[in-house]
Amino acid sequence: MVVPNRFKDQVAVVTGAGSGIGLGISRRIALEGGTVIMADIDRAALDAARDAIGEVPGQVRQTVADVSNGTETRDLMQSTVTRHGKLDIVINSAGIVGPSASNIAEYDLSSFRRVLDVNLVGSFIVSKHAIRAMQGTGYGRILLLASISGKEGNPGMAGYSTSKAGVIGLTKAIGKEYANTQITINALAPAMIATPLAQTLDPDKLSSLTDKIPMGRLGTIDEVAALACWIVSPEASFSTGAIFDLSGGRATY
Ligand code: NAD
């Protein structure tokens, strides 16, 4: 349920905003009155995303940036502050799956490095420059995208599972570093959500991961956006370094 004006006068950067979860969260923030800078590595995806968002009360801008590139990501955060005067919210939804049906003996090293570079090093880079930009006002909400695979480990997905376990560790560490400020850092750990990313999985892997969900279905982008928007709202003031479950009953811790 959209909360009118919840993000009025707030400025958000969403990475991976050209598709799936990042697009859904961007739309929800803009529907609730926020200014959203949608960043993605894929220009064509951003153009299509603008059309998908349609008319909204908030302002929406698009910019191309690669989260695994420190300079581009620093410039994304700094230019947001220069243009809008502050940065309240950063959601890092950029991510890739990499191989999804390769045991480690067959898992290509360059793929492993690329998955870690985007998912884990990207989360480090985004968080670092987000916090620097937020220190101007002393207020901020950072949300990273982990995954249940980072808790449980999905066989055949060593790179993805390792990267998401790293995002969980990163969130817990830096959440504590800034716990005595007004900047919170949290992560979501979803099970399978119906997005274009799910379609990049090996079909047998997708069906085995869906079978593990006690609710017997994939999650929806709207369900992710609803929880994400509460976590990045001013109301969520006593949660930091937390990993939020979103798994239809799959997660047991
Ligand atoms: P998606 O593929 O629909 O969207 C990901 C977006 O990230 C794409 O637009 C892509 O162009 C962009 N991207 C990729 N590499 C980038 C880079 N280096 N810099 C900037 N942008 C980049 O994926 P999604 O399903 O929306 O997933 C979003 C996040 O949620 C990912 O981190 C993913 O691992 C995580 N997640 C997804 C699921 C799921 O089932 N869909 C479950 C758990 C976690």
Active site residue 107: no
Predicted confidence at residue 253, as pLDDT, reads 87
What are the residues whose beta carbons fall under 8 Å from the beta carbon of 182, sequence distance 6 or more? 138, 139, 140, 237
Nearest ligand 1 atom to the CA of 219 is 40
pLDDT at residue 90 above 90? yes
For 28-41, what is the mean pLDDT? 98
Q: What is the pLDDT of residues 148-171, one digit of tens each?
A: 999 999 999 999 999 999 999 999
Q: Are 221 and 194 in contact (CB under 8 A)?
A: yes
pLDDT at residue 199 above 90? no
Q: What is the pLDDT of residues 170-186, one digit of tens each?
A: 999 999 999 999 999 99
The dihedral built from the CA positions of residue 188, 62, 23 and 42, taken in this order, carries a sign that is: negative
**Of 107, 160, 178, 253, which is the active-site residue?**
160
Q: Which residue among 50, 197, 217 is best mutated to probe the pocket of ligand 1, counting the most ligand atoms within 8 A of its Cβ?
A: 197
Nearest CA to ligand 1 atom 39: 193
What are the residues whose beta carbons fall under 8 Å from the beta carbon of 228, sequence distance 6 or more? 21, 25, 28, 91, 143, 188
Q: Please provide the DSSP assignment of 83-101 as one string.
A: HHS---EEEE-------SS
248 lines ligand 1 (CB under 6 A): no
247 lines ligand 1 (CB under 6 A): no
192 lines ligand 1 (CB under 6 A): yes
Q: Which amino acid is at 75?
A: D
For residue 55, report the distance from its CA to the centre of ligand 1, in Å: 24
pLDDT at residue 201 above 90? no
Task: Write down the pTM of the prediction.
Answer: 0.98
Nearest CA to ligand 1 atom 6: 16
Q: What is the pLDDT of residues 36-69, one digit of tens each?
A: 999 999 999 999 999 999 999 999 999 999 999 9
223 lines ligand 1 (CB under 6 A): no
Q: Look at residues 156, 149, 214, 233 and name the one whose alpha carbon lies nearest to residue 188.
A: 149
23 lines ligand 1 (CB under 6 A): no
Q: Are 166 and 120 in contact (CB under 8 A)?
A: yes
